[in-house]
Structure 1
Amino acid sequence: MNWDVIEGKWKQFKGEAQVQWGKLTNDDLDRIEGNRDKLVGAIQERYGIEKDEAEKQVDAFHNKHAT
C-alpha cells in the first residue's frame, strides 16, 4: 500500500496515529489531513526530534498499517 491510501483514508488512520504519537493533538491531526510531510513535521515539532528520525517513525507506521 502506498501513502496515498493512508491519505485517502486519513479519518480511519487518525486514531492509530494518535495512539502512536500521543503528543499530537486532534487539531494537529486535522491539519495534517493525511499528508506525509505534514505528519513528519508535526512529529518533529512535538517530539523535538530530527527529520530523519521522524521519517523513520512515519515509515514504520506506514509499514505496520500496510495490508
Structure 2
Amino acid sequence: MSRTLADIIKGKWRELVGTARVIWDELTIAELIGSEGDAQKLASLIQERYGMTQEEAEKQVLSFFERSRTL
C-alpha cells in the first residue's frame, strides 16, 4: 500500500522540525513539534504568526512537504 505524503511527513516530522524552523523562524521548536507534522495545524500557526491568508499558509506548507518528501 502506498503511503500518502501526509503519512510520510508525520512519520519523520521530528527529523524535519529543524528544517521547518529555518523556514518559519518565528515559530518555536515546541510549536513545530506540537503541530505533529499536521498540515492544517502547521498552516494555522503560520497564518497566525506571519499574518498571511490561510490559502498562502497552506501553499507554503504543501511546498515544504513536497520538498521534504525525499529528505
TM-score under structure 2 length normalisation: 0.86
Aligned-pair CA distance for 1:14: 0.5
CA-based RMSD: 1.2
Look up the match of 1:60.
63
Look up the match of 1:47.
50
Is the radius of gyration larger for structure 1 or structure 2?
A: 2
Aligned residues: 67
Aligned-pair CA distance for 1:35: 1.1
Q: Is contact 2:8–2:69 with CA below 8 Å preserved after alignment?
A: no
Look up the match of 1:20.
23
After the TM superposition, list the runs of 4 or more consecutive aligned residues in structure 1 that deviate by more than 4 angstroms. none
Cα displacement string for residues 23-66 of structure 1 (whole angstroms, at most 9, x for unaligned residues) = 11112112111111100000001101000000110111012112
Structure 1 unaligned segments of length 5 or more: list them: none
Look up the match of 2:10.
7
User: Which of the pair is proportionally richer in helix?
Assistant: 1
User: Identity, % of aligned pairs?
Assistant: 45
Aligned-pair CA distance for 1:3: 1.4
TM-score under structure 1 length normalisation: 0.90
